[in-house]
């Protein structure tokens, strides 16, 4: 048990130093140790004083640094002082683990305090039964709002929007509007624009707050509002919505239903999360790890990676079967077995380079029908030129290594062919997948290396077989 003085000292110590991170951006080890021992000793005052006061994202990072059981005990010990928004800042696996262990009425009480977008974020992971039980314990308006947001498809703008917003009629003056905001208690926690609506909630326009502050009190809202040129349909995919935000540098945007009625507001901080998720997804798909997260357990990780590895096994067997066609040539000349992986590997890497650029350019919209031919052309040239360079280099190396200049010529020719094949595969396969409506990030790398492996083995062993047969 800590003495009161010790505890006091630590408290003061932590108070003066506000930052829970070390210089590498990790949670400070000494802070973590203190939290862990407070958990073991069930020292609730310490936790209330030093953890509950943290920013939601700091609590999130702290949760990620703790062991699973410690996370639960932190949430239990803090009770009502635990800030549920912290759960929006952690991996899905950790969120599920914690929420599954919390009693539904505690979740309901906590959810009632959250902004609707955070509430939806937590509710959407729960199974139907728990979700319904929690919703039934919420006040009517709250429940209707959340249900409506949850009715929109997963990953849609409607799921990410906040249903709290400030809306005023067009005939109000600036003065009236400011007075309303001064007196109204029930405003969203923070907002950067007002919306202008008609009596049926139809969206007429928006006014940024700086515009209000610069206008005279007697000016009418309708004279200073601007048409919202980019209202976001609630059904729109969040990725598309994020692209609109980026393109037009929006801070917040109105979300409207099928009848153009204002149902919520999407804010840039949610969009930043979406941008992150989407980049993450692209990186992971290119690396063949689907939607896996760091905190997933061993079983689910094995399962999710197995599929990708199994596809790779099939493609590897396919390229090996090409090798087996030429087993006679290899038997006569073992050097072919030694050199063939080099041709395949160079093609694989060159193909991955082209594919990475293509997939990324497709995702950001930089590559489209207007410049596709130009890019295909460029990539083929690049592949051909690098093919020639590496044909010369590798040809020379093979000649010296095996004292056989003919082998050098053969590997050089195969290198050029495979580098051009790599360029074409690297750009055409993602383009084709994209055209077919598939995500080019997800399957491209398996397909591209299949092309380069098969072409590499076939070109090298085939040319060798033919060349040494006629010479």
Chain residues 331-360 in contact with its own copies, contact rule CB under 8 A: 331, 334, 337-342, 344-346, 349-350, 352-353, 355-357, 359-360
What distance in Å separates the CA atoms of residue 44 and residue 236, rounded to the nearest whole number?
A: 45
Binding residues with its own copies: total (CB under 8 A): 117
Site string for its own copies, 49-88 (x = CB under 8 A): ------x-xx--x--xx-----------------------
Does position 24 interact with its own copies (CB under 8 A)? The reply is: yes
Q: Between 8 and 327, name the residue whose CB sits nearer to its own copies.
A: 327
Q: Name the minimum Å distance from CB 383 to its own copies.
A: 9
Does position 40 interact with its own copies (CB under 8 A)? The reply is: no
Structure tokens at 138: 């919420």
Does position 386 interact with its own copies (CB under 8 A)? The reply is: yes
Does position 323 interact with its own copies (CB under 8 A)? The reply is: yes
Interface pick for its own copies out of 78, 109, 167, 397 (rule CB under 8 A) = 397
What distance in Å separates the CA atoms of residue 374 and residue 48, rounded to the nearest whole number?
A: 61
Does position 246 interact with its own copies (CB under 8 A)? The reply is: yes
Q: What is the DSSP letter of 53?
A: T
CA 463 to chain centre: 45
Q: Between 190 and 259, name the residue whose CB sits nearer to its own copies.
A: 190
Torsion of CA 346, 352, 354, 358, to 10 degrees: 170
Does position 327 interact with its own copies (CB under 8 A)? The reply is: yes
Q: Between 194 and 234, name the residue whose CB sits nearer to its own copies.
A: 194
- DSSP for 223-254, please give it: HH-B--S--EETTSBHHHHHHHHHHTT-SEEE
Does position 443 interact with its own copies (CB under 8 A)? The reply is: no
Task: List the one residue out of 51, 71, 41, 40 whose CA is nearest residue 11.
Answer: 51
Q: Between 8 and 291, name the residue whose CB sits nearer to its own copies.
A: 291
Does position 29 interact with its own copies (CB under 8 A)? The reply is: yes
Backbone angles phi, psi at 355, to 5 degrees: -65, -40
Interface pick for its own copies out of 8, 9, 15, 26 (rule CB under 8 A) = 26
Of 41-49, 120-128, 153-161, 304-312, the segment contacting its own copies by CB under 8 A is 304-312
What distance in Å separates the CA atoms of residue 72 and residue 75, rounded to the nearest whole number?
A: 5
214 CB neighbour count, 10 Å cutoff? 11
Task: List the one residue out of 99, 86, 148, 147 whose CA is nearest residue 125.
Answer: 99
Of 99-107, 131-139, 187-195, 256-264, the segment contacting its own copies by CB under 8 A is 187-195
Q: Between 132 and 227, name the residue whose CB sits nearer to its own copies.
A: 227
Q: Between 401 and 467, name the residue whose CB sits nearer to its own copies.
A: 401
Element (H, E) at 208: strand 203-208
Interface pick for its own copies out of 153, 171, 198, 248 (rule CB under 8 A) = 248
Element (H, E) at 411: helix 405-435
Q: Between 97 and 345, name the residue whose CB sits nearer to its own copies.
A: 345
Does position 37 interact with its own copies (CB under 8 A)? The reply is: no
376 CB neighbour count, 10 Å cutoff? 18
What distance in Å separates the CA atoms of residue 405 and residue 411, rounded to the nearest whole number?
A: 10
Residues 203-242 interacting with its own copies (rule: CB under 8 A):
208-210, 212-216, 229
Does position 301 interact with its own copies (CB under 8 A)? The reply is: yes
Looking up tokens 């063939």 gives 340
Interface pick for its own copies out of 69, 365, 403, 470 (rule CB under 8 A) = 365
Q: Name the minimum Å distance from CB 10 to its own copies.
A: 19
63 CB neighbour count, 10 Å cutoff? 25
Does position 436 interact with its own copies (CB under 8 A)? The reply is: no
Interface pick for its own copies out of 16, 182, 259, 469 (rule CB under 8 A) = 182
What distance in Å separates the CA atoms of residue 223 and residue 227, rounded to the nearest whole number?
A: 11
91 touches 64 (CB < 8 A) = yes
Of 70-78, 129-137, 141-149, 384-392, the segment contacting its own copies by CB under 8 A is 384-392
Residues 89-148 interacting with its own copies (rule: CB under 8 A):
91
Of 102-110, 129-137, 142-150, 294-302, the segment contacting its own copies by CB under 8 A is 294-302
183 CB neighbour count, 10 Å cutoff? 7
Q: Between 152 and 308, name the residue whose CB sits nearer to its own copies.
A: 308
- DSSP for 389-400, please give it: HHHHHHHHHHHH
Angle (deg, nearest 10), helices 268-286 and 440-470? 20
């Amino acid at each position: 048990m800590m003495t009161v003085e010790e505890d006091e000292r630590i408290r003061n110590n932590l108070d003066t130093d506000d930052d829970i991170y070390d210089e590498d951006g990790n949670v400070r080890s000494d802070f973590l140790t203190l939290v862990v021992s407070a958990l073991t000793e069930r020292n609730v005052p310490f936790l209330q004083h030093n953890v509950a006061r943290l920013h939601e994202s700091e609590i999130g990072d702290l949760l990620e640094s703790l062991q699973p059981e410690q996370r639960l005990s932190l949430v239990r010990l803090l009770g009502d002082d635990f800030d549920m928004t912290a759960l929006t800042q952690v991996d899905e696996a950790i969120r599920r683990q914690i929420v599954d262990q919390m009693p539904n009425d505690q979740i309901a009480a906590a959810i009632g305090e959250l902004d609707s977008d955070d509430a939806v974020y937590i509710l959407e992971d729960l199974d139907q039964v728990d979700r319904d039980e929690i919703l039934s314990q919420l006040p009517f308006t709250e429940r209707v709002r959340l249900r409506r947001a949850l009715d929109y498809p997963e990953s849609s703008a409607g799921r990410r929007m906040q249903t709290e917003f400030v809306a005023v009629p067009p005939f109000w003056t600036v003065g009236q509007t400011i007075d309303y905001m001064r007196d109204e208690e029930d405003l969203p926690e923070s907002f950067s624009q007002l919306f202008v609506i008609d009596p049926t909630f139809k969206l007429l326009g928006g006014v940024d707050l700086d515009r209000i502050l610069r206008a005279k009190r007697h000016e009418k809202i309708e004279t200073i509002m601007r048409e919202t040129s980019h209202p976001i349909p609630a059904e729109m995919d969040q990725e598309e919505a994020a692209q609109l935000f980026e393109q037009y540098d929006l801070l917040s945007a109105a979300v409207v239903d099928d009848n153009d009625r204002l149902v919520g507001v999407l804010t840039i901080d949610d969009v930043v999360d979406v941008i992150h998720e989407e980049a993450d997804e692209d990186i992971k798909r290119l690396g063949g790890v689907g939607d896996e997260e760091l905190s997933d357990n061993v079983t689910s990780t094995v399962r999710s990676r197995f599929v990708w590895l199994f596809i790779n096994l099939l493609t590897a067997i396919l390229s090996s079967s090409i090798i087996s066609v030429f087993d006679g040539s290899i038997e006569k000349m073992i050097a072919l077995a030694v050199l063939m992986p080099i041709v395949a590997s160079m093609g694989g890497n060159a193909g991955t380079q082209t594919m990475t650029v293509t997939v990324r350019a497709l995702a950001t919209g930089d590559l489209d029908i207007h410049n596709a031919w130009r890019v295909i052309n460029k990539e083929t040239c690049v592949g051909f030129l690098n093919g020639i360079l590496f044909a010369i280099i590798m040809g020379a190396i093979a000649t010296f290594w095996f004292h056989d200049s003919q082998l050098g010529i053969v590997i050089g020719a195969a290198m050029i062919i495979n580098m051009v094949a790599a360029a074409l595969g690297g750009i055409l396969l993602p383009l084709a997948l994209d055209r077919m409506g598939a995500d080019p990030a997800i399957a491209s790398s398996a397909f591209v290396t299949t092309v380069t492996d098969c072409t590499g083995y076939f070109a090298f062993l085939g040319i060798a077989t033919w060349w040494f047969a006629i010479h």
